[in-house]
Amino acid sequence: MTRIDFYILSDDFAAATSQVLTACKLCDKATAGGKRVYAYVPDAAAAEALDTALWSFRQGGFIAHERQLEGQRASLEEPLPAVLIGASEPPASYDGVMINLGRDVPDFFSRFERVLEIVDADPSARSQSRLRYKFYRDRGYELATHNL
């Protein structure tokens, strides 16, 4: 069963580190462990921000990634990037880790081993994350919270 981790950004932490940079750190950790990551980013501006951040996140290097284009077929050619950024269901080869940067729970979340939710300090974002937490909890998913 999918494990759900909520990473809660405190007001102080959120001021210094954005949701995008936290996503970069989580991508780095997961890919270092040999996992492919699907970053679900339904907002075009947020997808662009994550794409840009992954190029410059690590000094002297970058995290290999690619953006899934609208209408792109369900499977990608080899070699597959470590991180795929998209707004629709990813190819079948991405089933290890999903980072949800959206405000809703994607329909395909349960195919992943782990779903990582980053909770921004913004009050409306917190409210939406509480609804996602309740959604997962009410369906019996294993939940963990990490205060950053």
Break the chain into its structural domains and give their ranges.
3-147
pLDDT in tens, 108-144: 999 999 999 999 888 888 999 999 999 999 999 999 9
Coil, strand or helix at 141? coil
The 8-class DSSP code of residue 84 comes to E
pLDDT recorded at residue 16: 47
Q: For residue 91, how far is the Cα from the chain centroid?
A: 15
Question: pTM here?
Answer: 0.89
* Contact yes or no for 71/132 (Cβ under 8 A): no
What is the average per-residue pLDDT within 70-92? 76
Burial call 41-56: b when 16+ CB within 10 Å, e when fewer = beeeebbebbbebbee
User: Is residue 48's pLDDT more than 50?
Assistant: yes
pLDDT recorded at residue 73: 47
Q: Is 3.40.50.150 the CATH number for 3-147? A: no
AA letter at 28: D
| Tokens at 4, concatenated | 């759900």
Coil, strand or helix at 34? coil
